[in-house]
């Protein structure tokens, strides 16, 4: 399951994980892909929708909580990662776009209940995607990345 604020790269990451090429469109509903559940940003941004994210996570093997390095927006309530029964992985998207915001991203994910370190990815050049896929394939590595 991939969650994060609008514009953080959820749908593009879901396409990369599912092996799809081509342009992606914003999603307005949860999209169940071959290997992913893509959750629209509005579900995270509307507290009354959080219960739907938590319920849908029952179908997931992992939850990826995204923050965008180029946008410093508070998106997750404190401790939100603790609501899930599966491993939760912090992912910083847009890696390299604004490295000065990296500390802010890590603090936001920590506040949400993620244990660092987090995985940095850039969808434009696929940096970090292989590392993320390795963590997903081998859950015992989740706390080591």
Give the pLDDT of residue 126: 85
Q: Assess if residue 46 is contained within a domain.
A: no
Q: Residue 8 sits in which domain range?
A: 2-36+60-144
Q: Assess if residue 41 is contained within a domain.
A: no
The alpha-carbon radius of gyration of the chain (Å, integer) is: 14
pLDDT, one tens digit per residue, over 31-90 is 999 999 999 999 999 999 999 999 999 999 999 999 999 888 889 999 999 999 999 999
**pLDDT higher than 50, residue 116:** yes
Q: Assess if residue 42 is contained within a domain.
A: no
Q: Assess if residue 49 is contained within a domain.
A: no
For the domain that residue 135 is a member of, what is the CATH number?
Answer: 3.40.50.300
* Average pLDDT taken over every residue of the chain: 88
Q: Is the dihedral of CA 79, 80, 85, 90 positive or negative?
A: negative
Q: Assess if residue 97 is contained within a domain.
A: yes
Q: Is the dihedral of CA 86, 60, 145, 139 positive or negative?
A: positive
| Total domains present in the chain | 1
State the pTM of this model: 0.89
């Amino acid at each position: 399951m991939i969650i994060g604020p609008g514009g953080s790269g959820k749908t593009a990451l879901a396409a990369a994980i599912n092996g799809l090429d081509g342009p992606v469109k914003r999603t307005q509903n949860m999209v169940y892909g071959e290997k992913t559940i893509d959750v629209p940003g509005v579900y995270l941004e509307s507290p009354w929708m959080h219960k739907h994210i938590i319920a849908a996570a029952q179908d997931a093997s992992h939850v990826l909580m995204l923050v965008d390095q180029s946008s410093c927006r508070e998106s997750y309530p404190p401790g939100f990662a603790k609501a899930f029964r599966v491993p939760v992985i912090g992912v910083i998207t847009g890696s390299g776009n604004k490295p000065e915001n990296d500390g802010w991203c890590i603090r936001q994910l920590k506040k949400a209940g993620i244990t660092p370190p987090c995985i940095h990815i850039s969808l434009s050049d696929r940096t970090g995607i292989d590392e993320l896929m390795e963590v997903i394939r081998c859950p015992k590595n989740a706390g080591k990345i």
